[in-house]
Amino acid sequence: MPREYYEGTWQKERAYSPAVVTTGGRIAWLAGDGGIVEADESLTGQSVALEQMRLATDFDTQVHNTFKRISATLAKVGGKLEDIVTMTVFIKDGRDGQRFVEIRKEYFPQRAPGSALITVTGFAVPEMLVEVQAIAVIGD
């Protein structure tokens, strides 16, 4: 599926593109996902109550788990991380913003999606430190 990445002057260093243009493909609108350690019903068919889900206690592991979960969700619909064209990132502590960018570069080393990074006061699960919502354009 054709896509054009527009690179700004400083956005590449922050691991995002100011614009991504696609033609064709299917659009997948991904719900927000976080650094949950335990598998949940959406990925394994096993029901786990929200209050029973465990999260990693550190920011880095939560970010890595978030990208693993998003990757698994995309695989279920025939996509992969590289299909993400934009993401909205919510973090609990603004001081973690730069670290998030560094980790995101590991998952998007060549072409990064568009992105917003927003600091919030809390999440539905109080132990969450990060949540990512994304839109992907898959195949053609």
| 55-98 pLDDT, tens digit each | 888 999 999 999 999 999 999 999 999 999 999 999 999 999 99
pLDDT at 140: 66
* Residue 108 pLDDT exceeds 50: yes
Choose among 28, 55, 33, 56: nearest CA to 43.
Answer: 33
Choose among 65, 130, 68: nearest CA to 100.
Answer: 130
pLDDT at 56: 84
Q: Look up residue 73 and give its two tokens.
A: 């969700």
Report yes or no: 19 and 6 within 8 Å, Cβ to Cβ.
yes
pLDDT at 37: 75
Task: Tell me the whole-structure pTM to 2 decimals.
Answer: 0.81
Terminal Cα distance for the chain, rounded: 5
**Which has more pLDDT, 54 or 29?**
29
| Domains of the chain, first to last | 3-138 (3.30.1330.40)
Q: What is the largest CA-CA distance in the chain?
A: 46
